[in-house]
A and B are shown apart, each in its own frame.
Chain A
């Protein structure tokens, strides 16, 4: 069953003299109950803005967000805290260090997820239960964030998000600041929790390898628009959008990384009558400069590209394995 649905979602940030950053520019996707969707793209692609829109921390400029069949995009962010969906949609931030209140103990930080800043008796039971589940002991609960290691802080951030028993968990680069040895433990923890509690995941990352491990489907975002969306193994093994191909090709672990495209251009007042990727695209033709491609089904996936016939058969080697 569809849990979350975004339809033609847009977020524009105004600049001076009437210009606008089109951070999220007409994004549509759906996430089923218990499903995990990875969102990848370069910095500036709109990943975090999309996360904040769905988490209802900011208001969309246009479009619909439906959660559990109900429209939540029209509830102002300032009032969303009082809507029941608030507890069902939780967010884990990138840097646990910054996202936790430094003057609160770990227990109080987790209780914030229940909408409480004091840990009452019934809250304490829930806090202790979720803390045990993420691998934090009673001695950790009385610690302030700075007394905890990076991995433990990440666990507090995850516990805070899970304590209200959400149905959708949005993770914005949850392991970006962790060492690989700690990251492995945290990824396993998130995966286990997701399976046990049947939570849907929106997993934002710039790391394709992590998304391959954590998600069933992947959404590739380019300057606020969906370039490609589909089953993760398929998309990463045989990407069909030239941008996805560039991302996969630049990832070490698929042989020598290749830099095939130039640098990202901005998303200020983009051309509506063109593919946003055309200036970096090795396959661009005249049509790409004059007509914006729409998402079309290619097998099990959707691709927004005029040249999908030219992108077939470009397979990438499987990961190295040890």
Chain B
């Protein structure tokens, strides 16, 4: 690992917000505090519109230029990533921070072989050329358990299954030997049998390399199976953060509890399922209250007038909720 060894966390984010428009616009992703330690496996869970992908893109340094980021602290391995963003990220992106996207087939160039995709990354990060580059490409494909790697290197993305394309994406993300991997819904659209194989692959590499992993998913059950710690997002804010077992045993935020009781795997019969009424709040105006208050069965008047503070208990279990304080 070429990141500077230190006792500080790998990634430290404090009061980070993402806006579309100038500073007067309300923030789409709001007041994010997040710390990721070296080798930690964290799941970021949320429904569509929760802002989880925006946050992931920000961390990976590929946020759309239409958005602007403000943060009190945004450090990766001691490097300040606040503006000018482009400059700070240039040496990290793809090398120290790898990313795997949701739809591998559309992330690969259809008219180039998968081998040439990986060759680009290996050449860029490790300066390899010719024979040694070719050998490294085949080794990279073998490392993500692609059968007949030498033959597959000459395949085009369209000739491979979705699962195989995702393995290629993982090989590209790992080529720079990153210390943080951002996996944005890496198995959405894949079959469960393939999903298990892909997540095993990511996790095995994460453990072997002591690579921190931020696993973004909408699936709480999947997060439970793989992550050590779970961060729950709702409407652009982190509402709860807890060690995995604690979140499932005793969720502190009503939104996390509602998600759990909407999850089929947790229900004995259909009658046990409970949907969450209402919709996400419109984020065009700033909300001085809890963003979940309107959908919350346990809301008290204070929830509608004052934003709840995020409070940790003694076992690193935090929530932003007036009711569960």
Q: Mark A160-191, 1 if CB is under 8 A from B, else 0.
A: 00000000000000000001111111111001
Contact A213 B264 (CB under 8 A): yes
Contacts of B274 in A (CB 8 A): 184
A154 to chain B, nearest CB (A): 12
Is residue A251 within 8 Å, beta carbon to beta carbon, of the partner chain? yes
- A247 lies within 8 A of B262 (CB): no
**In the complex, residue of chain A having the shortest beta-carbon distance to the beta carbon of B46:** A179
Contact between chains at B196 and A180 (CB < 8 Å)? no
How many angstroms from the CA of A319 to the CA of B264 in the assembled complex?
Answer: 9
> B196 near A253 (CB under 8 angstroms)?
no
Q: How many A-B residue pairs have CB under 8 A?
A: 118
| CB-CB under 8 A for A181 and B164, given A43-B191, A250-B196, A319-B268 | no
Q: A42-B193, A188-B275, A214-B270 are known contacts. Are A180 and B259 too (CB-CB below 8 A)?
A: yes
Q: Known contacts being A180-B47, A252-B222, A252-B224, is A206 close to B192, with CB within 8 Å?
A: yes
- Chain A interface residue bracket vs B: 35 or more
Most buried by A among B200, B218, B263, B266: B263
Specify the chain A residue showing the minimal Cβ separation from B160.
Answer: A263
Of the listed stretches A7-15, A20-28, A254-262, name the one at the interface; the rest are far from the partner chain. A254-262
Kindly report which residue of chain B lies nearest to residue A149, judged by CB atoms.
B279
- Complex Cα distance A149/B274, Å? 18
Q: Which residues of B contact A209 (CB under 8 A)?
A: 264-265, 267
B142 interface residue (CB < 8 Å to A): no
Please report which residues of chain A, range 182-238, place their CB below 8 angstroms from some CB of chain B when the two chains form the complex.
Answer: 182-188, 191, 206-210, 212-214
B266 touches which of A256, A258, A322 (Cβ 8 Å): A322
Q: How far is the CA of A191 from the CA of B270 in the complex (A)?
A: 7
A181 and chain B: residue at smallest CB distance = B276
With A182-B275, A252-B219 as contacts: A247 and B192 at CB distance below 8 Å: yes
Q: Is B266 a contact of A321 with CB atoms below 8 Å?
A: yes
Pairwise interchain contact A213-B275, C-beta atoms closer than 8 A: no
With CB as the reference atom, state the residue of chain A lying closest to B260: A322
Report the Cα distance A296→B161, complex, angstroms. 33
B193 x A261 contact (CB < 8 A): yes
Q: Is A320 an interface residue (CB 8 A)?
A: yes
Complex Cα spacing A322 to B262, Å? 11
**Interchain CB contact under 8 A, B191 and A258:** no
Q: Are A188 and B262 in contact (CB under 8 A)?
A: no
| A246 touches B (CB below 8 Å) | yes
Contact B270 A187, beta carbon cutoff 8 Å: yes
Asked if A257 meets B47 with Cβ closer than 8 Å, knowing A250-B192, A263-B194, A322-B266, the reply is no
A320→B192 CA distance, assembly (Å): 18
Q: In the complex, what's the smallest C-beta–C-beta distance from A203 to chain B, in angstroms?
A: 12
CA distance A257 to B48 in the complex (A): 24
Contact B225 A184 (CB under 8 A): no
Which residues of A lie under 8 Å from residue B263 when comparing CB positions? 180, 184
**Please, what's the 1-or-0 string for A26-63, where 1 marks a CB less than 8 Å from any CB in chain B?**
00000000000000001100000000000000000000
For the complex, is A312 an interface residue (Cβ under 8 Å from B)? no
- Tell me, yes or no, whether B269 is within 8 Å of chain A by CB: yes
**Which of B195, B218, B224 contacts A250 (CB under 8 A)?**
B195
B289 within 8 A of A: no
Query: Are the CB atoms of B268 and A183 closer together than 8 Å?
Result: no
Q: Is the CB of B161 within 8 A of A257?
A: no
Tell me whether B32 is interfacial, beta carbon within 8 Å: no
- Which of A246, A249, A263, A319 is in CB contact (< 8 Å) with B163? A263
- Cα separation A214 to B48 with both chains bound (whole Å): 24
Q: Are A247 and B193 in contact (CB under 8 A)?
A: yes
Bitwise interface map of A from 289 to 322 toward B, beta carbon under 8 Å scored 1, else 0: 0000000000000000000000000000001111
* Residues in B whose Cβ lies below 8 Å from that of A214: 270
Cβ of A132 within 8 Å of any chain B Cβ, yes or no, is no
B265 touches A253 (CB 8 A): yes
Question: Given known contacts A181-B276, A184-B262, what 16 new A-B pairs fall within 8 Å (CB)?
Answer: A42-B191, A180-B218, A181-B259, A184-B264, A186-B275, A191-B270, A210-B264, A249-B196, A256-B225, A257-B196, A263-B161, A263-B193, A264-B161, A320-B266, A322-B261, A322-B266
Contact sample, A vs B, 24 pairs, CB 8 Å cutoff: A42-B192, A42-B194, A43-B191, A180-B219, A182-B276, A184-B263, A184-B276, A185-B275, A187-B270, A188-B270, A209-B264, A210-B264, A247-B192, A250-B196, A257-B195, A257-B196, A257-B225, A261-B193, A263-B163, A264-B161, A319-B266, A319-B267, A320-B266, A322-B261
List residues of B whose CB falls within 8 A of some A CB. Answer: 47-48, 161, 163-164, 191-197, 199-200, 218-222, 224-225, 248, 258-271, 273-276, 279
